[in-house]
Structure 1
C-alpha cells in the first residue's frame, strides 16, 4: 500500500495507533483544558505525580 494511502487510512483516528504514553498525555491535556485548570497548577500537580511514580518505581526495583 502506498504511503499516502496509509496516512489517509489512519487520519481518522491518529491517536489510536499512538504509543500508550502519548494517548495518556493527550487525555491529561484534555482533562486539564476541559476543567479550566491553570497551567501552573497543572504543572505542580504533574510534578507531584512524577515524584510519586518515581518513588514507587525505585521501591519496586530489586
Structure 2
C-alpha cells in the first residue's frame, strides 16, 4: 500500500522528514525558524555559486 507521500516531489518528502525530526527533538518553533533562516541563506549562496 502506498501513501500520497510516496508520490510526492522530493522537496515535499524532505520537508516532512525535517518536520518530523524537529518535532521528535521538541525544538521550539522560534528556534526552528531562526535555524531555517540560516539554512536558507546558506543554500541560496550555494545556488549562486553553481
Runs in 1 of length 4+ with deviation above 6 angstroms? none
Choose between structure 1 and 2 for higher RCO, CA contacts under 8 A separated by at least 6 residues. Answer: 2
Q: Which runs of 5+ in 1 are unaligned?
A: 1-8
Map 1:13-24 onto structure 2 (within 5 A).
13-24=3-14
Map 1:1-62 onto structure 2 (within 5 A).
12-60=2-50
TM-score between both structures, scaled by the size of structure 1? 0.75
Q: Which runs of 5+ in 2 are unaligned?
A: none
TM-score between both structures, scaled by the size of structure 2? 0.91
Name the count of aligned residue pairs: 50
Structural RMSD (CA): 1.2
**Which one has a bigger Cα radius of gyration?**
1
Say which structure is richer in helix: 2
